[in-house]
Structure 1
């Protein structure tokens, strides 16, 4: 690629174009994202027309914007008209209104109407990510007719691996694979070969639920129908991979106590990074004052037995870590569909049993360390370890059930991840510790 760029700079455009034709479009897009802006436009203009749209589809948002603002209206028209509908819609959804107008102005009328319909679907719905480039067949066709039809129309389709059988009103009747068509006799009717039991989604279904269907049924594509069961588009696996990546990124950010942000880290401004983090930091900082109030409330207990204060960090850290372990597993289970909302009691019972085992082992090891090695009195060692045992139990129960509660309240379960659970468990751990100290050590409140 460096040699190709050198040819372009030397204005050897024909030779550069011939070299580019031999490269993979994904590799070309990756290379363009690593060079200066001027060279990006130069290289893009040298690309063969049939490759330009494919390379454009793999570029990131910033590079696409730069190219659109740098090339002519006719070049924009060539790119947009060659892009698949779903890629076009994804691109336009990221653009400012004035740039969208510029792009649509240079799109042919038929495709412009289709794009406008797609843009009216809610974000994150099946309708917003589907494509209309699919292979459709009629049930009255023979295998020979169907293959000839695919040969005539398939060149512009995003995929022809699965064909969709519809009636005159475009109601979806069944599906049939290209493999089955090729291996069947020419005179057999499509209605006798098509699969009538199939998985489909509605235009308004949530994209995250659709991703679960792809995983569960090992799909490469899925048909999208309207409320009258008419076929309006399909969703392909490449779009689902992007959605899974997007949802995972969003969950990681929420679990770390940040607002979701789709921009790449190095391309996001310091101000935007701070803006996406500050809200949760403020919430967690203010909520942490509860632990401070608990400590002040039991000030007499601490002043009576000062050594108790040295065990507070250990209790709070262990409780927070125990809760985070449970919440991480439950959030993952919810995301993958392994845990359902009705499984709340099963999760609590399982986490309770796990907490009994882990809490007992931690308490015993801690007692040996404190009493035999640090020579702390028996009653204080016992108080600390009993507190630790109950803290682990509470932390695992809280960490296990809070994500499920969040899901029931139509919130993202990732909200109930480590930062928030740690704050809740810290308050409970301190209350348990001081209350047990008062009872077992006979201290003043």
Structure 2
């Protein structure tokens, strides 16, 4: 597609490009534009129809939007801003430099500017920061016919019209009614008789991850957002929730890999920025790992007396780290989904203890057979290694399952207590267990 468009641009066949783009999906058009050379992007964007251009602009990433905004004439900027929904406008402004933001705000009306500033003032990652104020509101005294008249009159400017929100004169949320309910009711039926009054809602300061979880739990297309006095101030739609889920999942994955989270895509992150994201944790983990060498040094005499013990250190450390990572990953996932709470810590430890004993015993039996048949070590050395294996897996699982829960309890992101940190802790613990069991059984 892009090659074809570039060929037509070279030939200055703009009408053919317009015809080619006319029926394109906005999301696909956004991807296509982002892959074009920067100098060609504004030219092709201007060939989109007015409505398609605004929808496409909303799907583009911040860098591409900034390129277009800088190249827009005042008239073009007016047209795009007029078509954008409020939440898309806020998302765009959050990623742009101050001078570009000022220019954009000059091209929106006073009411829209006020709403934008209101949303921008909500805490980052809160329901207020991702909501839109463009929803259909009805009154309980309206008839179905009057409700449809209001939807027709205002619905074009709203992000969704399927779910309508019933409010009183103070904008306090009283209920919801869907277009399906309205279609299946007589024209003369009053809204208060068909609306749902048991409404699920979130507050403006509710964490965005919890909002996304509520939408998923109840299969909502949108969820209302209220202020401290339960006045309706906006809604969060399912498409915004999907974006939140993707952002939070990406953030958790990066934290679990000991990388400082970022909002920028990998291919658009410079080498220097990537280095800055990774080096703090690498330095911390490297320094932490020096404790491991210190432990080995303190047991030099024991190792000198039974050199064969040295060859099993990597296996014991790796197995402990792997077991701890499995446990921590499971618990972190449960915490992020709301399946696990701090009060469940005793149940978690009990369950993981049984699981780790079963896993440790299985690994010990398999390892014992290898030690005796292949490595041909003495029975006592095999006993030291296998017993250590059971204890290390048990301790690793307990460390792996408790640290994320404790981190959540004190306000840290549980994802921080993931594989790299767990592995570093377990390595040191595994060595201490190993050498102490060796001293006890081998008398060294």
1:369 partnered with 2:380 = no
Q: Secondary structure at the match of 2:39?
A: helix
What is the correspondence of 1:176-195 to structure 2 with a 5 Å cutoff? Answer: 176-195=177-196
For residues 84-118 of structure 1, give each alpha carbon's deviation from its aligned partner in whole angstroms, at most 9, with x where no partner exists: 00000011011111111111122222211211111
1:113 partnered with 2:114 = yes
Q: Distance in 2 between matches of 1:349 and 1:220?
A: 39
Q: Distance in 2 between matches of 1:224 and 1:112?
A: 20
What is the correspondence of 1:39-438 to structure 2 with a 5 Å cutoff? Answer: 39-438=40-439
Q: Secondary structure at the match of 2:23?
A: coil
Choose 12-21 or 347-356, whichever is displaced more.
Answer: 12-21
Q: Distance in 1 between matches of 2:131 and 2:6?
A: 36
Instruction: Find the counterpart in structure 2 of residue 25 from structure 1.
Output: 26
Choose 389-398 or 9-18, whichever is displaced more.
Answer: 9-18
- RMSD of aligned residue pairs (Cα, Å): 1.1
Q: Distance in 2 between matches of 1:378 and 1:56?
A: 71
Q: CA deviation at 1:127?
A: 0.8
With the length of structure 1 as denominator, give the TM-score of the two structures: 0.98
With the length of structure 2 as denominator, give the TM-score of the two structures: 0.98
Do the aligned partners of 1:74 and 1:106 also contact (CA within 8 Å) in 2? Answer: no
Q: Secondary structure at the match of 1:66?
A: helix
Aligned length: 443
Q: Distance in 1 between matches of 2:325 and 2:238?
A: 32
Choose 388-397 or 2-11, whichever is displaced more.
Answer: 2-11
For residues 224-249 of structure 1, give each alpha carbon's deviation from its aligned partner in whole angstroms, at most 9, with x where no partner exists: 11111111110000000000000000
Q: CA deviation at 1:4?
A: 4.4
Q: Secondary structure at the match of 1:363?
A: helix
Do the aligned partners of 1:327 and 1:418 also contact (CA within 8 Å) in 2? Answer: yes
Q: CA deviation at 1:8?
A: 4.0
List structure 1 runs of 4+ shifted beyond 4 angstroms.
none
Q: CA deviation at 1:17?
A: 2.4
> Which residues of structure 2 form unaligned runs of 5+?
none
Do the aligned partners of 1:5 and 1:43 also contact (CA within 8 Å) in 2? Answer: no
Q: CA deviation at 1:341?
A: 1.9
